[in-house]
Amino acid sequence: MGHGVHLLAYADRFGGSLPALRGLLAAPPLDVFTGVHVLPFFLPFDGDDAGFDPIDHTVVDPRLGSWDDVAALARVRHVTADLIVNHVSAASPEFRDWLALGEASAHDGMFLTFDTVFPGGGTEADITAFYRPRAGLPFTPYQRADGTRRLVWTTFMPTQVDLDVHHPAARGYLEHVLRALAGAGVRTVRLDAVGYAVKTAGTDSFMTAATLEFVSEIAAMAHRAGLEVLVEVHAHYTQQLAIAERVDLVYDFALPPLLLHSFGTGTVDRLVRWLEIRPTNAVTVLDTHDGIGVIDAGPSGDRPGLIDHDEMAAIFRRAEAATGGISAVASQQVAWARLPHQINSTFSSVLGADDTAYLTARAVQLFLPGRPQVYYVGLLAGENDVALWERTRVGRDVNRHHVAPGEVEEALERDVVRGLLALVRLRTEHPAFDGEFRYAQTGADGLELVWRSGEARARLAVSVAGARPTFALEWTTAEGTRRATSVAELAG
């Protein structure tokens, strides 16, 4: 897997285009990143769901560049891109053709309708059993040109129409997209929203046995195209463990809420429990374009979580206090749930813009086995973009800031940003991270993470006691051992 650190960014919001993003990553100090996950750059990148509703998944939006620009980036960095598995835009040529021609369309059967899942009709209990990451029911009525009306599955938004992933027309579409990505040099494909892709009557249709089987099938399809597979699923930790065995990479979405729990309670036992069982083929994150997952560490039905429901609620309350109430109004409620499934906020804002706490969390993330990934807003230690959220009323926009010209240079003047880049460079370049990893709990409130390869050694000690978490970092160099216990020392 390697121990380099990857960046997660929108080309339009960080740089402004694919060539500009490549330019940022080619020059110091951002050249320390060995890879980049470019969030949807397809046509259009600025649709109803910030690119996750492609009209044409095989066309690069010309406002951002071209496939040649993707290929140019892929020649110098490991590129990850999204395969949006569950749905396409209602404005896509395929869906519009089906609306126009109905059963005569070459795309007939590609889109999931109500009667595909319930050929004999569905009861109220059947329909309300489905898990949906939004309020309400997952159907939208569409009328075809001949006047027939169909209920189409729309798990996320009315303009995002779900694919029938078992139908040959949908399979052919997905294979076509995979070939386009591989042809441009993309090395890792992220299966977006795959946990919702298979609807099975009589279940909640989220991460079921049928879903896992489909994940294996789509992963095999990607492997045939020469692509590594990363799965994105916000789910009970046992489901992450199960899916990790079927793909190359999964996200460690449990880490962020467990760190927030430790920082808020002054205890590390729940975090240590996760270290005992977490998959090592993980992409480690603190923040992403989708917010900070909390349900990933919590209970589900009769299955206990790494933290319980009250502890989850406490994380949301602390975030609300730290963000001046913004996270509470920006976070979206899941259908039938008592709590949101994620916190819409930057990670820095959730920590009250405390730079020491922020770098402590980042140090833990960057010391864990797996592939660390830093979101572009987190790279700049950004705080909530309240003005953007107030303008769009899209909760996740508080953490999707448009970085203006000059903002990167301005951010690099801050100790916290230079300190984070020092941690990234340490993880990317220090030979200890090629070796063996061990961890130890040091009392109720302490944690030690150590990497060693021969004489090379890197050690992180974390304490969550007192009013704020603290870190002590030491690593070997040719001149001896260096140490840092503050933001300023790391930045220096």
* CA 271 to chain CA mean position, Å: 20
CA–CA distance, 347 with 398 (Å, rounded to integer):
11
Known active-site residue 192:
yes
Q: For residues 481 and 432, give the distance between their C-alpha atoms in angstroms, rounded to a whole number.
A: 13
How many of the other CB atoms lie within 10 Å of CB of 176?
11
Short-list 15, 165, 179, 4, CA closest to 81: 179
H/E element holding 65?
none
Given a contact cutoff of 8 angstroms between Cβ atoms, the answer to whether 178 and 222 are in contact is yes
Distance separating alpha carbons of residues 189 and 229, to the nearest angstrom: 5
Known catalytic membership, residue 383: no
Tokens 């700049």 map to which residue? Answer: 380
Q: Which of 232, 290, 320, 397 is catalytic?
A: 232
State the Cα–Cα distance between residues 467 and 242, nearest whole angstrom.
37
- In whole angstroms, give the CA distance from residue 415 to residue 471: 16
- Contact indicator for 63, 97 with CB cutoff of 8 Å: no
Phi, psi (deg, nearest 5) at residue 375:
-75, 145
Query: Which pair of tokens denotes residue 290?
Result: 């989708």
- CA dihedral of residues 103, 105, 107, 110 (deg, nearest 10): -20
Where do runs of H (alpha helix) occur along 230-333?
A: 237-244, 255-265, 269-277, 309-322, 326-330
Q: How far is 394 from 53, CA to CA, in rounded Å?
A: 15
Contact 86, 54 (CB under 8 A): no
Q: How far apart are the C-alpha atoms of 382 and 375, rounded to whole Å?
A: 10
Catalytic residue among 192, 287, 320, 445: 192
How big is the chain, counted in residues?
492
Phi, psi of 56 (to 5 degrees): -140, 110
Strand order in the sheet with 470-477: 436-441, 446-453, 456-463, 470-477, 480-484
Question: Using CA atoms, how far apart are residues 312 and 24, in angstroms rounded to an integer?
Answer: 38
- Give the whole-angstrom CA distance, residue 133 versus residue 214: 20
Which segments of 184-308 does DSSP mark as H helices, in order? Answer: 209-224, 237-244, 255-265, 269-277
Supply the DSSP string of 340-406, one letter for each residue: BSEE-S-HHHHTTT-HHHHHHHHHHHHHSSSEEEEEHHHHTTPPP-HHHHHHH--GGGGG---PPTT
Tokens 């130890």 -> residue: 440
Residues with catalytic annotation?
Answer: 192, 232
